[in-house]
Chain A
């Protein structure tokens, strides 16, 4: 019954897992200063609750979720808020974003924590707790978990719940280590998820290059009915849609989500934070980060969110000679940071110090020869070379006809391309341009409506004015005619010309304050 259904394409990549997965996870040292970004998740930026000068406790909420798709942010340690300001954050642009800067007092005083029995609470109450605990997907996308845990809106019952422990990217081992060390806690978190979603079956997908993690998870699953499914080591088996296909044979529709075919997927790290949030009332204030590559002691650290990358590098023995870039995430999907002083966020799963040996050598870009290697490698079943032509020619509508938005940016096509074309860069560029055009269109539509409303208002006002004038004029004329008839000898001064003191005052003050006199 436990058959696997391989997805199309994919790659056998180098692994480089043993560098960092040999030692247990250590707690990183408490930094002096923490820079906690208010946008660590997909969705709206959190609203800051703390102000400069205020004292905060460890685990105190400092950013409130703003809207349905948003997540709370908490103080990772106790101390004083120095500033709420724009600071550099880990982002491919290198642009700053809003952060709460906290100076730690070293006391680690916790805010009051409250454990709950999730079985006695209403599911919406459990979801609210997870939402205010700031639980997001820790696989890298950081999507708010409470949204995914809400089964309403999907009429059919959930068929399969998948726990994602595949960790397919080279170099990254944080999920491997937490599965080895915290299997029981992960399973406890999985029970909470299963309680909320009530799936028919629960599968745990782990790549078969992690035998220790598989053994630990199998042991922890004993007697629970959850099934551990080792999957072949093939990048990108950890990508949601590919893992769903691999374990259930279900294809996620274009423009759809796995939940549309009755499957929901969570990362092992997320299950662990759900367990901490429910059983201990602890919000998400730390995460496991792999520090690897060209550093002296590659390892996994449990890191407080907001810790600068440079401190983690220092605690891992510092850079070895020849480091060219510091990459957040793996070598396939990660991005180089502009500055190693940026802080760890909920999406930071790995820091890879890359030297020339880890980076793909810079080779001249050659023309596409239409060899089709990218088509064979694409795990999303796309035609990467067609997408490339259209993205390159800025024919975005045609790129969309070839399902540009089904691209998961895994990098398989660029990896196999014999002409070394930066294919994924073209797709990212095209996606961004399409989103920007979409936004422009919405803005134009808004402007059109506002302009229309203004024209209608001006027209209405004009009509009202005319109507008033029309009302006045005939009566006035009739009166004048009558008076002329009855008392023709008396001269009539129109009422509005009769001098009135207050009226003159108005005119005078108007002339003084008239803008024309003030100009130059």
Chain B
């Protein structure tokens, strides 16, 4: 009997040591689910979800404090991706958070800008360039279209414009000729 007790004791001790070692050495920094959620979010940092940026929203989703349908810029694609990641059912975008819109960029009317720097302080990605009492301008390439600079502007000189279509960003559209056969094709696919 002693042999069995000692053997089991040694085994238990060894496993305990191994587990303890693994807990210390192989610890995961941060929550990996948050990283994955954050990677799906569009990083607009607009705060329409009710959180101060995409990362806090990702943390809230991971903690179960927020739903997956609160991100208008991510749209339906984003919700579907989140649903797939978290193993939930996709649901329509919550209208309280806003509606899905085409991508826009902010433009400052430079003739009316008074150089108050309020928009610079509001921009979550530092995409507005300028200094006090000097004209400001938006770096279009860095602008996420979050609209956070619109409200603080005291002279209403910032407006949103849709991103212009050029040869570089033009896309082939979804073929339309196929609509007649849709029902039967979907049955075949199912």
Which residue of chain B is the closest to A437 with respect to CB atoms?
A: B77
Whether the pair A450, B172 counts as a contact (CB closer than 8 A) is no
Q: Number of residues in B with C-beta < 8 Å to the partner? A: 39
Q: Which of B45, B166, B172 is the one whose CB lies under 8 Å from A95? A: B166
Contact A451:B53 (CB < 8 A) given known A93-B170, A367-B184, A368-B185: yes
Whether the pair A429, B167 counts as a contact (CB closer than 8 A) is no
Mask of A390-404 contacts with B, CB within 8 angstroms, 1/0 = 001100000000000
Question: What residues of B have a CB within 8 angstroms of the CB of A97 in the complex?
Answer: 166-167
Whether the pair B127, A95 counts as a contact (CB closer than 8 A) is no
Q: Which of B43, B55, B177 is the one whose CB lies under 8 Å from A445? A: B43
- Tell me which residues from 162 to 186 in chain B have a Cβ below 8 Å from any Cβ of chain A: 165-167, 169-175, 177-178, 180-181, 184-185
Contact A448:B172 (CB < 8 A) given known A95-B165, A97-B167, A365-B180: no
How long is the Cα–Cα vector from A515 to B153 in the complex, in angstroms?
9
Which residue of chain A is the closest to B121 with respect to CB atoms?
A: A458
How long is the Cα–Cα vector from A367 to B182 in the complex, in angstroms?
8
B63 within 8 A of A: no
Question: What residues of B have a CB within 8 angstroms of the CB of A370 in the complex?
Answer: 188
How long is the Cα–Cα vector from A161 to B124 in the complex, in angstroms?
53
How long is the Cα–Cα vector from A447 to B45 in the complex, in angstroms?
8
A357 within 8 A of B: no
Whether the pair B155, A515 counts as a contact (CB closer than 8 A) is yes
Whether the pair A447, B154 counts as a contact (CB closer than 8 A) is no
Question: What residues of B have a CB within 8 angstroms of the CB of A448 in the complex?
Answer: 38, 43, 54
Whether the pair A422, B189 counts as a contact (CB closer than 8 A) is no
Whether the pair B173, A366 counts as a contact (CB closer than 8 A) is no
A432 within 8 A of B: yes
Whether the pair B177, A365 counts as a contact (CB closer than 8 A) is yes
Q: Number of residues in A with C-beta < 8 Å to the partner? A: 44
Whether the pair B172, A428 counts as a contact (CB closer than 8 A) is yes
Which residue of chain B is the closest to A44 with respect to CB atoms?
A: B168
B85 to chain A, nearest CB (A): 13
Question: What residues of A have a CB within 8 angstroms of the CB of B127 in the complex?
Answer: 450
How long is the Cα–Cα vector from A364 to B116 in the complex, in angstroms?
62
Whether the pair B172, A432 counts as a contact (CB closer than 8 A) is yes
Contact A426:B175 (CB < 8 A) given known A446-B142, A519-B154: yes
Question: What residues of A have a CB within 8 angstroms of the CB of B180 in the complex?
Answer: 364-365
Whether the pair A444, B42 counts as a contact (CB closer than 8 A) is yes
Q: Which of A368, A433, A515 is the one whose CB lies under 8 Å from B114? A: A515
Contact A425:B172 (CB < 8 A) given known A448-B38, A450-B127: yes
Contact A451:B125 (CB < 8 A) given known A93-B170, A392-B178, A429-B173: yes
A516 within 8 A of B: yes
Q: Which of B118, B124, B125 is the one whose CB lies under 8 Å from A515? A: B118
Question: What residues of B have a CB within 8 angstroms of the CB of A67 in the complex?
Answer: none
Whether the pair B188, A518 counts as a contact (CB closer than 8 A) is no
A39 within 8 A of B: yes
How long is the Cα–Cα vector from A364 to B184 in the complex, in angstroms?
14
Whether the pair A518, B154 counts as a contact (CB closer than 8 A) is yes
A71 to chain B, nearest CB (A): 16
A109 within 8 A of B: no
B137 within 8 A of A: no
How long is the Cα–Cα vector from A27 to B80 in the complex, in angstroms?
58
Question: What residues of B have a CB within 8 angstroms of the CB of A519 in the complex?
Answer: 154-155
A118 within 8 A of B: no
How long is the Cα–Cα vector from A518 to B112 in the complex, in angstroms?
12
A421 within 8 A of B: yes
How long is the Cα–Cα vector from A440 to B73 in the complex, in angstroms?
12
- Tell me which residues from 92 to 124 in chain B have a Cβ below 8 Å from any Cβ of chain A: 114, 116, 118, 124
A91 within 8 A of B: yes
B26 to chain A, nearest CB (A): 26
- Tell me which residues from 433 to 486 in chain A have a Cβ below 8 Å from any Cβ of chain B: 433, 436, 439-440, 443-448, 450-451, 453-454
How long is the Cα–Cα vector from A92 to B124 in the complex, in angstroms?
38
A440 to chain B, nearest CB (A): 8
Q: Which of B114, B142, B173 is the one whose CB lies under 8 Å from A450? A: B142
Q: Which of A93, A446, A515 is the one whose CB lies under 8 Å from B116? A: A515
Q: Which of B124, B133, B167 is the one whose CB lies under 8 Å from A451? A: B124
Question: What residues of A have a CB within 8 angstroms of the CB of B116 in the complex?
Answer: 515
Mask of A73-110 contacts with B, CB within 8 angstroms, 1/0 = 00000000000000001011101010000000000000
How long is the Cα–Cα vector from A291 to B8 in the complex, in angstroms?
89
Question: What residues of B have a CB within 8 angstroms of the CB of A444 in the complex?
Answer: 41-43
Question: What residues of B have a CB within 8 angstroms of the CB of A518 in the complex?
Answer: 114, 154-155
A450 to chain B, nearest CB (A): 4
Whether the pair B43, A368 counts as a contact (CB closer than 8 A) is no
Binding site for A on B (CB under 8 A): 38, 41-45, 53-55, 114, 116, 118, 124-127, 133, 142, 144, 154-155, 165-167, 169-175, 177-178, 180-181, 184-185, 188-189
User: Could you name 8 residue pairs across A and B whose Cβ atoms are closer than 8 Å?
Assistant: A91-B170, A95-B166, A368-B185, A419-B181, A422-B177, A444-B43, A454-B126, A515-B154
Binding site for B on A (CB under 8 A): 39, 89, 91-93, 95, 97, 364-368, 370, 389, 392-393, 419, 421-422, 425-426, 428-429, 431-433, 436, 439-440, 443-448, 450-451, 453-454, 513, 515-516, 518-519
In the A-B complex, list the 7 residue pairs whose CB atoms are closest, starting with the nearest. A515-B154, A432-B171, A444-B43, A450-B125, A447-B43, A425-B175, A428-B172
Apart from A367-B184, A422-B177, what are 18 other A-B pairs with CB-CB below 8 Å? A93-B167, A93-B170, A97-B167, A365-B181, A367-B181, A368-B185, A421-B178, A422-B178, A431-B172, A432-B171, A433-B171, A447-B125, A448-B43, A450-B126, A451-B53, A454-B126, A518-B154, A519-B155
